[in-house]
């Protein structure tokens, strides 16, 4: 019997703004879980969507993490440098008949759904379900705008370490989803699967706001013949309006000059009593022991 792969975790922020209280929760949970497993913790900057990014945000996130004592093991991966790996994965999918070009505009997708007698159902991320118009080839005279994955029918299941078995019918709820966007940008779903594999990630720990993407990532990994990591989705921090606190909605930067306050709030959010004040490294070691003790009790 082969030994299980050594634990590799990661934090993968999009540089749309400075680190805020919500992203610290995801960073700390992934760091604690990696340390509790004596694993490595990697950092990846997901800068695939320039219109949503803020100049200087990536550097500010790295700096803040360092001041919170959360130092990545190994090189920081920057997605904007990884286009050739994404192109290779898309090529593999196309060669397997699983990736195909799509000529539809957003409007056409919305209209075809209505003409078929359906309502304009939107996925949790606000996209329209793709009705499969270009699945069997582009209509004459149409040119490829985006590339999509041919999603198999049926329910996809995966285990979340906290939430248990999750299931999602991607074909029914989302349809063939985008791998490369009409504006030429790589889709998050493709990039994350390619990079988690390339970085040897065994465990993804992130907020429940991404739970709706996990099924797509499982389907995509299968299509590429890759294993999926283990999953743990932790509660997200809500803003004053009850929605997820996010950089887009103007969540403010955490005050990295008070690391124990910032980390303590994140720990409480994760349901753990923070350690008493101590030098940062000792505090983090104690926090790791608390995380590990809860994990052992829970499993
Ligand atoms: N880049 C994504 C975000 O900041 C997270 C990706 C992930 O953890 O899989 O929301």
Distance of alpha carbon 243 from alpha carbon 240, whole angstroms: 7
Residue 288: name the closest of 26, 13, 19, 29 by CA.
29
Does the annotation mark 247 as catalytic? Answer: yes
Q: Please count the residues of the chain.
A: 299
42-72 pLDDT, tens per residue? 999 999 999 999 999 999 999 999 999 999 9
201-243 pLDDT, tens per residue? 999 999 999 999 999 999 999 999 999 999 999 999 877 677 7
Could you give the C-alpha distances from 159 to 123, 166, 229, 233, 259, in angstroms and in order?
21, 6, 10, 10, 33
Pocket test for ligand 1, best of 8, 11, 12 (most atoms within 8 A of CB): 12
Question: How open is the CA angle 125-212-34, to the nearest 5 degrees?
Answer: 125
Pocket lining: 234 vs ligand 1, CB cutoff 6 Å: no
> What is the reported pLDDT for 128?
79
> What is the reported pLDDT for 184?
95
118-143 pLDDT, tens per residue? 555 555 556 679 999 999 999 898 99
Average the pLDDT over 236-255 and give the result.
Answer: 77
Pocket lining: 14 vs ligand 1, CB cutoff 6 Å: yes
Q: Where are the alpha helices (DSSP H) in 181-279?
A: 188-198, 211-223, 259-269
Question: How open is the CA angle 101-105-111, to the nearest 5 degrees?
Answer: 120
> What is the reported pLDDT for 244?
72
Q: Which two tokens stand for residue 237?
A: 């921090």
Could you give the C-alpha distances from 77 to 11, 133, 256, in angstroms and in order?
11, 36, 23
263-281 pLDDT, tens per residue? 999 999 999 999 999 999 9
Give the closest residue (by CA) to ligand 1 atom 6: 12
Model confidence at 18, pLDDT cuts 50, 70, 90, reads very high
Chain centroid to CA 202: 14
Average the pLDDT over 169-181 and give the result.
Answer: 96
Pocket lining: 209 vs ligand 1, CB cutoff 6 Å: no
Model confidence at 298, pLDDT cuts 50, 70, 90, reads very low
Q: Are 71 and 43 in contact (CB under 8 A)?
A: no
Distance of alpha carbon 294 from alpha carbon 299, whole angstroms: 9
> What is the reported pLDDT for 246?
74
Which atom of ligand 1 has the smallest separation from the CA of 26?
8
Distance of alpha carbon 125 from alpha carbon 194, whole angstroms: 21
């Amino acid at each position: 019997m082969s030994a299980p792969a050594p634990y590799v975790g990661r934090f993968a922020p999009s540089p749309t703004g400075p680190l805020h209280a919500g992203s610290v929760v995801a960073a700390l949970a992934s760091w604690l879980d990696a340390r509790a497993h004596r694993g490595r913790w990697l950092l990846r900057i997901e800068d695939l969507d320039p219109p949503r990014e803020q100049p200087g945000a990536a550097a500010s996130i790295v700096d803040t993490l360092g001041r919170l004592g959360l130092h990545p093991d190994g090189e920081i991966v920057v997605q904007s440098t990884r286009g050739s790996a994404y192109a290779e994965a898309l090529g593999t999918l196309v060669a397997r008949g699983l990736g195909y070009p799509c000529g539809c505009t957003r409007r056409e997708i919305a209209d075809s759904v209505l003409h078929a007698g359906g309502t304009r159902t939107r996925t949790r991320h606000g996209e329209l379900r793709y009705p499969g118009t270009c699945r069997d080839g582009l209509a004459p005279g149409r040119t490829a705008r985006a590339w999509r994955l041919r999603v198999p029918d049926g329910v996809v299941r995966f285990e979340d370490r906290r939430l248990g078995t999750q299931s999602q019918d991607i074909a029914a709820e989302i349809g063939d989803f985008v791998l490369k966007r009409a504006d030429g940008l790589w889709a998050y779903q493709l990039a994350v699967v390619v990079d988690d594999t390339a970085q040897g990630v065994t465990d993804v720990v992130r907020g429940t706001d991404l739970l709706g993407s996990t099924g797509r990532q499982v389907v995509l990994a299968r299509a590429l013949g890759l294993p999926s990591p283990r999953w743990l989705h932790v509660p997200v921090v809500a803003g004053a309006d009850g929605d997820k606190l996010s950089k887009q909605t103007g969540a403010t930067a955490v005050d990295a000059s008070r690391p124990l306050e910032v980390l303590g709030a994140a720990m409480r959010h994760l349901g753990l009593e923070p350690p008493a004040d101590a030098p940062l490294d000792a505090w983090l070691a104690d926090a790791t022991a608390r995380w590990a003790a809860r994990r052992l009790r829970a499993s």
